[in-house]
Structure 1
Amino acid sequence: FVVLEVLWVSVCLVHSDSSVVVQKEAQFGVSYLDTVTSHNQTIYSFNHTVSRNKTEGVRVSVELLSETTKSPILFVIRQKQAVLSFQVPLILRGLYQRKYQYTQVGRTLCQPPTLVASETQFFYVDVSTLSSTSVHYQLRVSRVESFTLQTDKKFSFNATPSQPQFFKYVFPDGVDTVIVKVNSEKNFPCSVMSIQDIQCPVYDLDNNVAFIGMYQTMTKKGAVTVQRKDFPSNSFYVVVVVKTEDEACGGPLKFYPLLPDELLDAGNRSKTLDVVVSPAINSEVYVMGMLFCLGIFLSFYVLTFLVACIENKRSTNYIIIIIIIIISLSVADNGSTMSSEPVTDSLASAEGTYGYMERSMDTVGRCRQESLSSVEEDDYDTLADIDSDKNIVRTKKYLCVSDLARKDKRVLNKKYQIYFWNISTIAVFYALPVIQLVITYQTVVNVTGNQDICYYNFLCAHPLGALSSFNNILSNLGYVMLGLLFLLIVLQRDILHNRALMRNDITALECGIPKHFGLFYAMGTALMMEGLLSACYHVCPNYTNFQFDTSFMYMIAGLCMLKLYQKRHPDINASAYTAYACLAAVIFFSVLGVVFGKGNTAFWIVFSVIHILATLLLSTQLYYMGRWKLDSGILRRMLYVIYTDCVRQCSGPMYIDRMVLLVMGNIVNWSLAAYGLIKRPNDFASYLLAIAICNLLLYFAFYIIMKLRSGERIRCLALVCILFTAVVWGFALFFFFQGLSTWQKTPAESREHNRDCILLSFFDDHDIWHFLSSIAMFGSFLVLLTMDDDLDTVQRDKIYVF
């Protein structure tokens, strides 16, 4: 009775609506031209054989033939384990809820796995509408050839927003990771590539493709690395959807509709694409890549150890020579009294000095007492001797290091050690939130599957565990290892120097460039932090965390310039607090430039003015050795100097060398400021870093030239370091400018620059930049450390300041 009652209710409903249901046995590959109204409904019945070992795709294509219709046609496809429905014309929404209408729709049916070897399955296509007038349509159901993708075999297809495509891939035996590459000849229309598990329904429209799986926008290139462990069925779908608009890929923004519900014409948005699935690298390549990375940088430890052994052997020979000379002099002293000049001359010849005339032992003793006297940090004890007044000393035409090395060494050591402790504190407080943030980024990428969050080189991004691009992180190991090695070298020199001071060695007390190692420790720490933060940045490189990769680059450049200046000006170098405050201002402007600098004329004007003013102020500080004041009378004093030196008498600059350096520096900085104001480069962070590097190179070149001009020489070890570092920097910059990705553009545009791995099938161009730049920075630090070793036996009043 219950069954009869249900049938009776159904018949009553059908008759009450005056609707007729017609079921037709349909065939694959046949086009059905038909009409539908609110009074009739058509059901097309299809059957096909499903095999467990072979997957066959089925595609339903529909076209609306009536020009105008008030009500759409509804198509409902009922399968064994899924239901797919869509309407024609299909309405898809774009940015700002703009609506686009499509009269041709094509959808591929999902193929759920079957447990039996082979079975016949039925599916039905129900066609209905609420239109009171007849609506003409065309229906065609066909089998999809090459629905299952083959490894390393390219397959071409067409797609539109209303006719998406997806294909199946099954992991072959022995392959755990594959890389899916989709390419197109045209940039636009913008597309989306998605990797989804084998399930129903398949999300293959612009408004739902991001619901599950991994997905990324693309123009010409798209690549996703897929691991077997993420798909229990050992297979997945490759879904390609053409978007209704191109803004997501950097395309132009279309006009706004006049009416909120206005339907816009989508135009021709067909796109031809190629898809190929290739096996990714295996575990052996991972091991080889890690061993290669470790081997390169451990070799520097071995090389340093060998050089140290050679130097120690040479030092032992020198010690033997000195002992023999001392014994011979003591024997000769029993017979006659000798002056100190032959002793010093013998020592100078034994230790490879330039033949400078040494001061008498009385003078050495007096200078030593002066150097050990209690002197305040910011001023000197007032003495009757006019040479002790710093305002007079620093205005001498020719300054020597002894003139600017009068402060107590213990006070200066504490002053420069603050650089190391401050940067260590900065590193801790900077690194902890950075690590927390990038872990969150990586988690979001893994959970949401949104591959547009991070700007990888997807054609050479090798995952390991939760990390999406392990190779880009591993290649930063060099910064850490070489930074640690540099700290060990500095520590060894520091210990030897302190031992010499404890022995009251006259050479250590009165000869050579004053040894202050605080800045060297800070440089090594900064290099290690650059590696750590660069690795954090490459966990998920994007627009919001770029400063992780650049902050310590600014610090390294600034510390190197400070160290160069400190060598000849130990008493008047900037304090750690001032230096780090200036570097913080640079990083602040870097952030402002990236956020607000693009196309902002006001920002570039303000930055250029500040850049030029800062250059002028620093030039004045360097020229007058800090003996000037920035106060209300500065303009009056400037006018007076111009009047007396340029108007009343045309006299040249008193300090010609300094003037040459500062004029060249101003020309370079003013040119860079003009370039930024005119061109307004998109990558403001790199532009700011280029300013710092140009100033560092200019000052370093000036230092080398003045060193040679002053009659000094560069030892073999330092010369080898200079040549080696210059060559490595050249190769490093070549790989840096390859530009495999850029967060200044959209993710889809960034992927156009992606390229395959070029080293061991594991490292790309940017990884090689990491290798070479870390080696080049280490070499640059060694140059700064060893460049003035030739002056270790020269009295400081014979070493010129420049």
Structure 2
Amino acid sequence: PFGLMLPARSCGSGAVGETKSVVQKDAEFDVTYNDTVTSENQTIYAFNHTVSRNRTEGVRVSVDVLSQGLESPILFVVRQKQAVLSFQVPLILRGLYQRKYPYNHVGRTLCQPPTRALSETQYFFVDVSTLSSQGTNFQLRVSRVESFTLQTDKKFSFTASPSQPQYFKYVFPDGVDTVIVKVNSDMNFPCSVMSIQDIQCPVYDLDNNVAFIGMYQTMTKKGAITVQRKDFPSNSFYVVVVVKTEDEACGGPLRFYPLRPDELIDAGNRSKILDVVVTPAINSKVYVMGMLFCLGIFFSFYLLTFLVACLDNKRCDVLEQHSSNLFLLCLQLTKCLFSLPSCPPLLSPLPSSERSLDSVGRSRQESLSSVEEDDYDTLDDINSDKNIVRTKKFLCVSDLARKDKRVLSKKYQIYFWNISTIAVFYALPVIQLVITYQTVVNVTGNQDICYYNFLCAHPLGALSAFNNILSNLGYVMLGLLFLLIVLKRDIVHNRAMVRNDLNALECGIPKHFGLFYAMGTALMMEGLLSACYHVCPNYTNFQFDTSFMYMIAGLCMLKLYQKRHPDINASAYTAYACLAAVIFFSVLGVVFGKGNTVFWIIFSVIHILATLLLSTQLYYMGRWRLDSGVLRRMVYIIYTDSIRQCSGPMYIDRMVLLVMGNIVNWSLAAYGLIERPNDFASYLLAIAICNLLLYFAFYIIMKLRSGERIKCLALVCILFTAVVWGFALYFFFQGLSTWQKTPAESREHNRDCILLLFFDDHDIWHFLSSIAMFGSFLVLLTMDDDLDTVQRDKIYVF
């Protein structure tokens, strides 16, 4: 009844030539075998079971070693038809720094190679041996795994530990090409790994080999992997769940370092209760609906813009026709009342001291000649009288619009050409890098590289999260639309200048469109780089998503300042150099800023000094020098103006703005130094946005205070943009993932799609923020349209 007993040569701890008895026993499922093994005997348990082609049953081997303080472990070898599985007990698993954790209870599931026959009987053997001379007690139990094959949309619960991994089989049903495998647990720790592997032997189901094949990701409470039928020729796969020996990969505490290299550490109870469910993913119709929805939203803005332009042109034509009819009517009445024989000339000759329209037209034609960009001051008296002009208590736009328009136009066009050049040289290596990232993810299967919202990440081709990339289309389309709107205004203005229109020549805010072109280009690049970032979002490439946000904020502030200070606005080279410094600090903050006190001190000091220097530049409108005598001059001004004469600031409005700006920036610097936020890039962006909002609010208040008004179109844009920004920020702060934590902790924030089963909260942020940015640009473009018929010497500077 005990099977065959064979003599065998012994090796290892036994003497050479010593015989070892081999005992083979016929064994049955679901029976616990208590036995003893020594170096002198080896036991083989023989099992058989029926395998069906249409039904897969899992077989699980569970082993307990009852003896303590073993000098040599027991070796278990499971021999199957197409595979061999071996493991020792105690099972020694290694963690960080090669720390060793012994496990006396081991459970392993046997892989099930597919069979071609409709039904066949397969045999497998469990060999038990050891090199220990002492008798070692063990328990062996082989059982069938219930619910080894997972059913679609049916949740299954199980328990796993580092020495007792679990895996299950899933077969794609007919008509389903993509599924999402979701593993959940109510326990944060112990840290675990879920893996998707092809149906083959061996199955890699231990902490030290689970990453060898297939797709895998660490998890605490949530894990989700999207699986496509095309990646598995057998139309089926294994879902493997492994509990790790340590929790560092999931952000858990680091255990103590062992005193001796060979010291064994008690792992404690690391069992984890989990459940797995496989749900069908979206089909091709949902992809099409998502793309059509995205295109439809942004094409509607093109249609709306076209309708507004048509209505505006019709209104202008009607006004022009009514004006002509009114003029003819008045002329007829005049002739009847005063019996005028003929009509007098409409315009009397201008005095010789005044500039005629012909001279203006000639100067316009002369603008075709080349003008150097550094020929800023084309009037001889500008250098001599600019200090006199700028020290007036109440400045008008005409005082700061004295330079040749040809030179200023070329100066501001450099903004557009420079940002276009930056965009090309910035985007090309970024695209190459993210393609490499995506390739590494696809080849290695390591889904901890990229911080997706895995519960709403829809793949397309090689891209893992196509929906996050598609939702950035709005930035590109609306950026292009803004460029077209600016181009139309530019053409209309140039035509007015050519026909010597007095309003275009002498009225309103001077029209310079270079910064607007740069803003539209920056918005398009934000969309492109945000899409690149979302190919594989992580902390090493987050600056791709924020770089052009800094540029957009900076360009908007420059445009606001340029409106009332066209002659003294910063050059493109200076502006982009400052923005490059901001991006440089952003990279340093991401790499070195986390918990680094020295970095935060240096950054806070630079932030405060930069705020003071910019405040001085704005207050004195460039009429100061940064040299060795600046401190002496500051003390002298404070002593003479404030102490001796007790006089207040000469430019009160500017002083109020700058005081508020310094309060805000000093507060942000203090917050950064005290709290040291992990997301330095977002902190830096918050500084830029706060300053932009502060300056914009100041501009609106001063505009209304100066007796100016906001036209209907600009007012609608302001209200619409404010509402959209509010909703956009709500979805932004939902936080579906965060690269500030470990990938497993980031997945705890993952949530299902909320729009058309295709887009998540962050996609809606992309939609709304692109619309809000477009609206913000329209506000800057239209907010001073009410001044187009006002003489520039009646428009105040603030």
Please, what TM-score do these two structures have when normalized by structure 2? Answer: 0.94
**Corresponding position of 2:462:** 466
Partner residue in 2 for 1:707 = 703
Is the contact between residue 37 and residue 129 of structure 1 (CA under 8 Å) also seen in structure 2? yes
Match of 2:315 in 1: 314
Is residue 737 from structure 1 mapped to residue 742 from structure 2 by the alignment? no
Equivalence for 1:676: 672
Say whether the 8 Å CA contact 1:377–1:407 is kept in structure 2.
Answer: no
Equivalent residue letter for 1:381: L
Q: Which residue of 2 aligns with 1:350?
A: none
Where in structure 2 are the equivalents of 1:223-242 lying within 5 Å?
223-242=224-243
CA distance in 2, matches of 1:703, 1:371: 33
The answer to whether structure 1 residue 407 and structure 2 residue 403 are counterparts is: yes
Alignment partner, residue 573 of structure 2: 577
2:110 corresponds to: 109
Question: How far did 1:379 drift?
Answer: 3.6
For the structure 1 residues 11 and 800, does the alpha-carbon distance in structure 2 shift closer, same or farther, using more than 3 Å as the test? closer
| C-alpha distance 500-521 of structure 1, shift in aligned 2 (>3 A) | same
Deviation readout 1:467-492 (Å, 9 max, x if unpaired): 00000000000000000000000000
- 2:98 maps to 97
1:19 is paired with a residue whose SS is strand
Judge conservation of contact 1:370–1:406 (CA < 8 Å) in 2.
no
Contact 1:59 1:109 in 2 (8 A): yes
Amino acid at match of 2:188: N
Aligned mates of 2:324, 2:353 — CA distance in 1: 23
The alpha-carbon deviation at position 382 of structure 1 amounts to 3.6
Aligned ranges for residues 188-587 of structure 1 at < 5 Å?
188-324=189-325, 327=328, 363=354, 365=356, 377-379=375-377, 381-383=379-381, 389-587=385-583
Amino acid across the alignment from 2:87: F
Aligned equivalents of 1:434, 1:365: Cα separation in 2:
54
SS at match of 2:459: coil
Match of 2:83 in 1: 82
Residue correspondence of structure 1 range 575-614 to structure 2 within 5 A: 575-614=571-610
Q: For residues 294 and 447 of structure 2, what CA distance do their matches in structure 1 show?
A: 27
In structure 1, give the amino acid aligned to 2:28. Q
Local SS of the residue matching 1:210: helix
C-alpha distance in 2 between matches for 1:593 and 1:166: 42
Q: Distance in 1 between matches of 2:246 and 2:497?
A: 73
Deviation at 1:314, TM superposition (A): 1.1
User: Deviation of residue 318 (structure 1)?
Assistant: 2.4
Query: Structure 1 residue 665 and structure 2 residue 666: aligned?
Result: no
CA-CA distance at 1:263 after TM superposition:
0.9
- For the Cα contact (< 8 Å) 1:88–1:104, is it kept in 2? yes
Residues 363/12 of structure 1: CA separation in 2 closer, same or farther (3 Å cut): closer
Q: 1:48 deviation in Å?
A: 0.5
Q: Deviations over 1:16-39 (max 9, x none)?
A: 332000000111111111000010
Q: Could you tell me how far apart the structure 1 residues matched to 2:346 and 2:664 are?
A: 50
Whole-Å separation in 1 of the counterparts to 2:10 and 2:566: 99
- Deviation per CA, 1:422-475, whole angstroms, max 9, x where unpaired? 000000000100111111100000000000000000000000000000000000
- Deviation track 1:210-251 (CA, whole Å, cap 9, x = no partner) reads 000000000000000000000011100000000000000001
Query: Could you tell me whether the CA contact under 8 Å between 1:486 and 1:524 is conserved in 2?
Result: yes
Equivalence for 2:123:
122
Matched residue of 1:554: which SS?
helix
Aligned-pair CA distance for 1:169: 0.5
Cα offset for 1:543? 1.2
Q: 1:610 to 1:95 in 2, by over 3 A?
A: same
Secondary structure at the counterpart of residue 180 of structure 1: strand
Distance 1:325 1:370 in 2: 32
Shift of 1:540: 0.3
SS in 2 for 1:800: coil
Q: Is the 8 A contact 2:360 2:500 kept in 1?
A: no
Amino acid at match of 2:580: A
Q: How far is the alpha carbon of 1:329 from its aligned partner?
A: 7.2
Does structure 2 conserve the Cα–Cα contact (< 8 Å) formed by 1:371 and 1:406?
no
Q: Is the 8 Å Cα contact of residues 293 and 475 (structure 1) preserved in structure 2?
A: yes
Cα distance, 1:504 vs structure 2: 1.1
Counterpart Cα distance in 1 of 2:363 and 2:383? 14
Note the alpha carbon deviations across 1:598-642, whole angstroms, 9 max, x for none: 111111111111111111111111111111111111111101100
CA distance in 1, matches of 2:351, 2:251: 76
CA distance in structure 2 between the partners assigned to 1:339 and 1:253 by the alignment: 93
Look up the match of 1:163.
164
Q: Distance in 2 between matches of 1:796 and 1:220?
A: 64
Q: How many pairs does the alignment contain?
A: 777
The answer for the alignment partner of 1:4 in structure 2 is: none
CA distance in 2, matches of 1:580, 1:680: 27
Deviation at 1:337, TM superposition (A): 10
Percent identity of paired positions between Structure 1 and Structure 2: 84
Pairwise CA distance, 1:649: 1.3
Instruction: Please give the alpha-carbon distance, in whole angstroms, between the structure 2 residues aligned to 1:643 and 1:704.
Output: 34
Contact 2:471 2:763 in 1 (8 A): yes
Offset at residue 133 of structure 1 (A) = 0.9
Q: Work out whether residues 431 and 533 of structure 1, in 8 Å CA contact, stay in contact via their aligned partners in 2.
A: yes
In structure 2, relative to structure 1, the CA distance for the partners of 1:74 and 1:340 (3 Å cut) is same
Task: After TM superposition, give the deviation of residue 381 of structure 1 in Å.
Answer: 3.1
Q: Is the 8 A contact 1:397 1:654 kept in 2?
A: yes
> For residue 619 of structure 1, what is the amino acid of its counterpart?
S
Aligned-partner residue type, residue 297 of structure 1: F
CA drift at 1:153: 0.6
Match status 1:687 vs 2:683: yes
8 Å CA contact 2:8–2:21 kept in 1: the answer is no
- The question of whether the paired residues in 2 share the 8 Å contact of 1:340 and 1:360 is answered with no
Matched, 1:39 2:51: no
**Does 1:173 pair with 2:158?**
no
TM-score in terms of structure 1 length = 0.94
In 1, distance between residues paired with 2:647 and 2:9? 114
TM-aligned CA distance change 1:740 to 1:202, over 3 Å:
same
Q: Which amino acid aligns with 1:590?
A: S
Change (3 A) 1:648 1:144: same
Q: Give the counterpart letter for 1:687 in structure 2.
A: Y
Whole-angstrom CA distance in 2 between matches of 1:378 and 1:669: 33
Provide closer, same or farther for how the CA distance between residues 669 and 363 of structure 1 changes in structure 2, counting only shifts above 3 A.
farther
For structure 1, the 5+ residue unaligned runs are 1-6, 344-358
Looking at structure 2, the residues matched to 215 and 681 of structure 1 have their Cα atoms a distance apart, in angstroms, of: 30
Residue 143 to residue 703, structure 1, CA distance change in 2 (3 Å) = same
In structure 2, relative to structure 1, the CA distance for the partners of 1:338 and 1:394 (3 Å cut) is: farther
Q: Which amino acid aligns with 1:720?
A: V
CA contact (8 A) 1:371 1:409 kept: no
CA distance in 1, matches of 2:378, 2:591: 47
The one-letter code matched in structure 1 to 2:315 is R
| Residue correspondence of structure 1 range 786-797 to structure 2 within 5 A | 786-797=782-793
Unpaired runs of at least 5, structure 2: none
The Cα shift of 1:325 comes to 5.4
The superposition leaves residues 336-391 of structure 1 with CA deviations (integer Å, 9 ceiling, x where unpaired) of 999999x9xxxxxxxxxxxxxxx9996564996999799974446344xx997111
Aligned-partner SS, 2:392? coil
Maintained 8 Å contact 1:382/1:389: no
Query: RMSD of the alignment, in Å?
Result: 2.2
Distance in 2, Cα, partners of 1:644 & 1:336: 68
Native 8 Å contact 1:371 1:408 kept in 2: no
| Distance change >3 Å, CA 731–CA 361, structure 1 → 2 | farther
Deviation (angstroms), 1:573: 0.3
